[in-house]
Amino acid sequence: MKIQKEIVLPGPGQSFRLFTPSLRNSFFWHYHPEYELVYVEAITGIRHVGQHISSFMESDLVLIGPNVPHLNFDYGIETDYHQIVVQLKENFLGDAFKETPEFSAIYQLFEKSYLGLSFTGETKQVVSEKLTQMQSLSHFEQLISLLQVFQVLANSKEVIALNEQDTSIKLFLDDKIRMGSVYKYIHVNYDKRPDVNAVAASVHLSTPAFCRYFKKQTKMTFTDFVNQYRIAQAKTLLVKGLTVSEACYEVGFESLSHFNKMFRKLAGENPSLFKKRYN
């Protein structure tokens, strides 16, 4: 459950790695010196990059810089999903990005990637199609297509920086707490009454110290994180056919009005509209 360094090996005869991992039953809180581009399609899932935690709906496209800790994007997904990942070393084309004027936009893109960059709209659609097509191409054609993908991302205005500051591994290596223990506790207890005192004790901290730690690491309170986790689980239940009331009480809310308010706040629409859209 502690943070791990992933060893990334390019594909045979390639300067990068293109693959479709499936790790939804694993908590893989990790980092690596390589850049990573992740595209995942799912009804809902958890996005945890650096200090940023949120849920995504339908699909997600994120570029992550070197040594930025992140959770596997398919963690805990209970419905069908599809994921494509590209990993490449910082100097996978030598100094080409720095020294070639035509690559200047891509170089600037990589320079910002330490924040974790989430892409939306038409950008996400175009890139997802290119990543899907890349899987059937030759190695040389994949490289050309990958450069085109990065050029699309570099020129896109449909981008959100997930973090406000550098969250590379040096920030987390000094941390002796295992985030996996926190996730595990919440996953088991989100539908009950998660007790911050219990989770603090499980990581050997006083409650005030744990609350300070959690806020520093995630930029949110423990209660906010639990509510976000509950709403993500509620989305899955609504898609599976439960009524709004059933989903509300199933994930631990005691008030339907509070559930509706929290759902609108975190999902941008009320649960009945969300259910109608997916059905």
E strand or H helix at 183? helix 179-189
Position 173 scores a pLDDT of: 60
User: Tokens in use for 138?
Assistant: 């030759």
In which residue ranges of the chain is pLDDT below 70?
1, 170-178
The SS3 assignment for 19 reads strand
Position 277 scores a pLDDT of: 84
Phi, psi of 166 (to 5 degrees): -65, 125
The SS3 assignment for 149 reads helix
Q: Read off the amino acid at residue 47.
A: R
Beta partners for residue 48, in sequence order = 53
User: Tokens in use for 226?
Assistant: 């639990």
Position 152 scores a pLDDT of: 98
Sign, CA dihedral 172-175-181-184, equals negative
Beta partners for residue 32, in sequence order = none
User: Which fold would CATH assign to domain 175-278?
Assistant: Arc Repressor Mutant, subunit A (1.10.10)
The DSSP secondary structure of 74-142, one letter per residue, reads TTT--S--EEEEEEE-TTTTTTHHHH-GGGHHHHHHHHHGGG-EEE-HHHHHHHHHHHHHHTTS-HHHH
**DSSP secondary-structure letter at 177?**
S
Could you state, in order of their start, the residue ranges of all structural domains in the chain?
Answer: 4-161, 175-278
Torsion angle of the four alpha carbons 72, 227, 261, 236, in this order, in degrees rounded to the nearest 10? 50
The SS3 assignment for 270 reads coil
**Which residue is associated with the tokens 């209660």?**
223
Separation of alpha carbons 172 and 23, rounded Å: 23
CATH number of 4-161: 2.60.120.10
